[in-house]
Amino acid sequence: MTIYNRFLKLFFAIFLCLGISSCASVPKGFLVPSKDYLEKRQLQMRQYDTTDQEKIITSVAGVLQDLGFTLDASETQVGFVAASKKADATNVGQVFIVALLGGANAVGNCDSSQVIKASVIIKPSLDSKKTVVRVTFQRVVWNMRGQINRLETLKDPALYQKFYDSLSKAIFLEAQEI
Amino acid sequence: MRKLKNYCGIILLLFSVMALCGCATSAVSALGSNESQVKLRSIQTRAFDTTDKKKMMQTVISTMQDLDFVIDKADLMLGSVTGTKFLGYAVVTMTVIVRPRGENQLLVRANAQYGVNSVEDPATYQDFFTALEKAIFLTAQQVD
């Protein structure tokens, strides 16, 4: 009987905690800049030796089209362009390993398609003598069942390098690293 | 003693019901929030001593980019900037509106959503405004 009582108390306490905390699922501190934000800036930003922002923003739109993106939104007066692109995310190696370990059913969890989002900001540098371009990439990956597998910010330097190489070609100016 | 146990059972049942439906929503919550409107405004709003709306918007954008947001939309006339950030499997969406206040100030109001919850924690917004302050070299002033 005392065991029964003890269990009752335990359940009571657990449910009390659940009842109080069930809706408090928003974590704190997610708007604090991470410590590596300067490195991220270095990865995502380039300066161009021109004050002709119109030229840069049209080149950016052109480069995004060259890379297969379609434009979603823009506000040229603030120097902002957003674009996205759907792409295949199937990884033959992943499908093979998952099929080997988990059988045909597990293959449904493999990456299947993705949407890559790019957002570019063009603004004058602090001394107003140059133009700063900053691009950020995000992607959403779906699995073969059509569920979202992953949400992530892309950090691969090669991706950013490719974007700026194309942009530099487009505006015939050498990008200078900050 | 027996009566006490009966009560315990009922209370246990009540709490389990509460725990299970604690997050249930209704259509009413589409326009509702937990905090009072005035309090929420003061949590989400700061004033800055500048009138350069465009520069303020660009600073807001770069601060959001430093915080890993990818900008989805911006509008100079409305003074709005909207961005998305992924935290594991959660999606954080934030809209910031910049608008003039009187002759020589700008009001900046931010509101964030974490998944399906609106963020109403003052400290979280304070973190954002602290980062914004540093970027624009101006002091964010509390608005009544």
Question: Where along chain B do its domains lie?
Answer: 35-142
CATH class label, B35-142: alpha beta
A58 within domain boundaries:
yes
Residues of chain A below pLDDT 50: 22
pLDDT by position in tens, chain B (length 144): 667 777 767 777 777 666 665 555 556 567 766 667 888 888 999 999 999 999 899 999 989 998 989 999 999 999 999 999 988 888 999 999 999 998 899 999 999 999 888 888 899 999 999 999 988 877 677 776
Model confidence, pTM: 0.76
A41 within domain boundaries:
yes
Q: Does B129 lie at the interface with A, CB-CB under 8 angstroms?
A: no
A28 within domain boundaries:
no
ipTM of the complex: 0.74
Question: Across the interface, do B22 and A18 touch by the CB < 8 Å criterion?
Answer: yes
Strands A70-75 and B105-114: unpaired
Q: Which tokens in the block code for residue B33?
A: 């929030």
Alpha-carbon gap: A149 to the closest alpha carbon of chain B (Å): 9
CA nearest to B72 within chain A: A82
Instruction: Indicate which CATH number applies to the domain containing A102.
Output: 3.30.310.80
The dihedral through the CA atoms of B129, B63, A23, B115 has a sign that is: positive
- The C-alpha atoms of residue B1 and residue A166 are separated, in whole angstroms, by 80
Split into its structural domains, chain A has a count of 1
Interface of A with B (CB under 8 A): 5, 8, 11-12, 15-16, 18-19, 22-23, 25-34, 37, 40-41, 44, 72-73, 75, 77-80, 82, 117, 119, 121, 123, 134, 136-138, 148, 151-153
3-class state of residue B19 by DSSP? helix
Q: What is the predicted pLDDT for the residue at A6?
A: 73
Q: What is the predicted pLDDT for the residue at B35?
A: 67
Question: Across the interface, do B72 and A82 touch by the CB < 8 Å criterion?
Answer: yes
Q: Which tokens in the block code for residue A78?
A: 């603030």
> In chain B, which residues have their Cβ closer than 8 Å to the Cβ of A121?
58, 61-62, 65, 71
A16 within domain boundaries:
no
Q: Please name which of B59, B95, B103 lies closest in space to residue B78, comparing C-alpha atoms.
A: B95
> In chain B, which residues have their Cβ closer than 8 Å to the Cβ of A134?
62, 65
CA atoms within 13 A on the CB side of B64: 33
Q: What is the predicted pLDDT for the residue at A22?
A: 46
The domain of A49 spans: 36-171
